[in-house]
Structure 1
Amino acid sequence: MRTDDPRSADGAAGPEAAAEPRGVAGPDSSADPAGPRILVVDNYDSFVFTIVGYLEQMGADCTVRRHDHADLDPTEFDGVLISPGPGNPDTAGRSLEVIEACARTGTPMLGVCLGLQALAQLFGATVAHAPNLMHGRTCAITHEERSVFEGLASPLTATRYHSLAVVPETLPVCLEVTASAEDGSIQGIAHRELPLHAVQFHPESVLTEGGHHMLAVFLQLAEGAPTADAARRAEGLRPLIG
């Protein structure tokens, strides 16, 4: 993993402390990743190194750069992940700009939490206060078995950390809802023509069912490989949260 962040992977801390214990184990620096090159745009969040840890266990070559970094060119990578973070899309540094660049170049992208809100807002949706505050709470998620949910049973349990949500009625036609919660909030979206995907919940949480599989599907998309191989890629990951 390459990063411009002075935080170490152990006990990483962002501006907003996470409710879930971190206990993040750093990746083996001796490893030589042969998988896809992934740019992780860090929205100053304490979850980012957990996500990176899982991606690297699955063979990804990750570069972590904060959302205000001067060089966030997605064309240098096989895929881009927009991390969770505090605030809203307008305070997420260059995240909107990076997503727009992914759309323009066809670079596969996965947005997580704030990343979903940024994707939706870029294409014209409204982000507002969520119907319910969800900080470290689990709920049932119903999905369409498309996008990063391909190969997973529905419903599944997911862990949510958000006080903002996309207003469903404002979602543009170019984006489809791929998952939703019992309270009606959008929990997954994807562009109908471009490889842009996002989830509102946290796939890296130990309480999210199928989270590793979702990250593996994203890596398969970044490689241009069949998503059916994602289950094999996600199998046997060691836990990074304890």
Structure 2
Amino acid sequence: MAVITTPGRSPSLLVLEDGREFRGRSYGATGQTFGEAVFFTGMTGYQETLTDPSYHRQIVVQTAPQIGNTGWNDEDDESSRIWVAGYVVREPARLASNWRSRGSLDDELVRHGVVGISGVDTRAITRHLRDRGALRAGIFSGAALADVDVLVDRVRARPGMVGADLAGEVTAPHPYTAPAGGGGDRRFRVAALDLGVKRTMLRELTRRGVEVCVLPAHADAEDLFALEVDGVFVSNGPGDPATTGHAARLVRAALERRIPLFGICFGHQVLGRALGFDTYKLDFGHHGVNLPVKDRRTGRVEITSHNHGFAVRAPLDEVTRTPFGRVEVSHVCLNDGVIEGLRCLDVPALSLQYHPEAAAGPHDAAHSFDEFVATMAASTSEATRA
């Protein structure tokens, strides 16, 4: 197998649980790391990807051949740290060139202790993962290098993503508030359940005049109701949605009180389980910025940004009756038929599997935040009339 070498970097090895190995050079910190290997198809947005809490305990393979061109800046972080377990790139940029750059990607990986590998054929890795599905993996460099069979055993000893309860590991430790419009007039107050929320999601709400009270994942219904909110937002996050019994109970409590609710990504899955639907693991997930999704109400196709390894299972072509009334599938991925949105018809709740805030990615679905605001406005008017 050909190895693309980068001068000045130590030998490194990517090992998959099925025994496949890829040799390259270290990138970022040296040592060893473990996680689920997934591939990300976006040509931009590496900083947003690395700092997205949804990638906690995953090793991200970048399909774009050159990474690091624009360096690292403070504005594009989606959280306070890098969350990926490991990072795989073909060719690290030799020079970071961007007017906003404050340093290099390599230096930032070292600062956060993220073990990576470069000089590998990321196209071959991606094709392998598409054929075999997401696999447990390990990256080893420096003193961590050992006999390949030993390394494969170490990888296989690690837990997979099914059954992983990770929201509590990425959530905010304490409640905090994001003011509306950076301190302007407040139209609505929303409680955001932080299962791994991205900063851009909060910005999309606050710029629409929403004051966002962010609650940690362990918050209960009493914490929520004490805020006297106009709506509830359930965020993205990592792990298996089957482990989110606590979050699902909180969502059901909000639905019982008919509080408008909006869930994105992991939040979409939590809403699905709260309504009584099942969730399942996708073969290799959706991780990229270019997936076509059809809005089944309008027929419009949007190009969307995704990051999820699980999905909701529900009837596609019929309205389902649940303990909270009728529910329909509102959006579907045109690549593989995966459910990408739910809409409750008898309570004010909706959800999207993809990321309408699209950081990075297309902004086709940004209007979804407007729809949530409109739902809160309608609910407020209804309450006033009553």
Q: TM-score, normalization: structure 1?
A: 0.74
Distance 1:74 1:93, change over 3 A: farther
Question: Counterparts of 1:75-94 in structure 2 under 5 Å?
Answer: 76-92=228-244, 94=246
Q: How far off is 1:23 after superposition? A: 3.3
Please name the residue that 1:95 is paired with: 247
Of the candidates 338, 341, 363, which is equivalent to residue 185 of structure 1? 338
The one-letter code matched in structure 2 to 1:218 is F
Q: In 1, distance between residues paired with 2:351 and 2:226?
A: 17
Is 1:73 paired with 2:220? no
Q: How far off is 1:98 after superposition? A: 1.9
* Per-residue Cα deviation, 1:170-200 (whole angstroms, up to 9, x for no partner): 9833210111001100001111211110000
Q: In 1, distance between residues paired with 2:302 and 2:248?
A: 29
Please name the residue that 1:23 is paired with: 77
Please name the residue that 2:207 is paired with: 57
* Per-residue Cα deviation, 1:117-147 (whole angstroms, up to 9, x for no partner): 111112221100125411234211111247x
Q: In 2, distance between residues paired with 1:140 and 1:37?
A: 32
Question: Counterparts of 1:40-55 in structure 2 under 5 Å?
Answer: 40-43=192-195, 45-47=196-198, 49-55=199-205
* Per-residue Cα deviation, 1:97-122 (whole angstroms, up to 9, x for no partner): 22101211110000101111111112
Question: Counterparts of 1:174-213 in structure 2 under 5 Å?
Answer: 174-182=326-334, 183-205=336-358, 206-213=360-367
Is 1:166 paired with 2:312? yes
Of the candidates 287, 302, 309, which is equivalent to residue 156 of structure 1? 302
Q: Does the aligned pair in 2 maintain the 1:67–1:93 contact within 8 Å? A: no
Q: In 1, distance between residues paired with 2:180 and 2:312?
A: 38
Q: In 2, distance between residues paired with 1:191 and 1:155?
A: 21
Q: How far off is 1:27 after superposition? A: 6.9
Is 1:133 paired with 2:281? no
Q: In 2, distance between residues paired with 1:216 and 1:201?
A: 16
| Higher relative contact order structure (alpha carbons within 8 Å, sequence separation ≥ 6) | 1
Q: In 2, distance between residues paired with 1:225 and 1:91?
A: 31
Q: In 1, distance between residues paired with 2:301 and 2:182?
A: 39
Q: In 1, distance between residues paired with 2:309 and 2:249?
A: 23
Q: In 1, distance between residues paired with 2:181 and 2:330?
A: 36
Distance 1:117 1:15, change over 3 A: closer
Q: In 2, distance between residues paired with 1:77 and 1:154?
A: 32
Distance 1:143 1:131, change over 3 A: farther
Q: TM-score, normalization: structure 2?
A: 0.48
Q: In 1, distance between residues paired with 2:182 and 2:268?
A: 33
Q: SS of the counterpart of 2:366?
A: helix
Q: SS of the counterpart of 2:282?
A: strand
Q: In 2, distance between residues paired with 1:52 and 1:187?
A: 21
Please name the residue that 1:231 is paired with: none
Q: How far off is 1:210 after superposition? A: 3.0
* Structure 1, 178-187 or 117-126: larger mean CA deviation: 117-126
The one-letter code matched in structure 2 to 1:63 is C
Distance 1:219 1:103, change over 3 A: same
* Per-residue Cα deviation, 1:147-178 (whole angstroms, up to 9, x for no partner): xxxxxx71111111111011234983321011
Q: How far off is 1:204 after superposition? A: 0.8
Count, aligned residues? 208
The one-letter code matched in structure 2 to 1:160 is H
Q: How far off is 1:91 after superposition? A: 3.1
Please name the residue that 1:216 is paired with: 370
Please name the residue that 2:294 is paired with: 142
Gaps of 5+ in 1: 1-10, 147-152, 227-242
**Percent identity of paired positions between Structure 1 and Structure 2:** 22
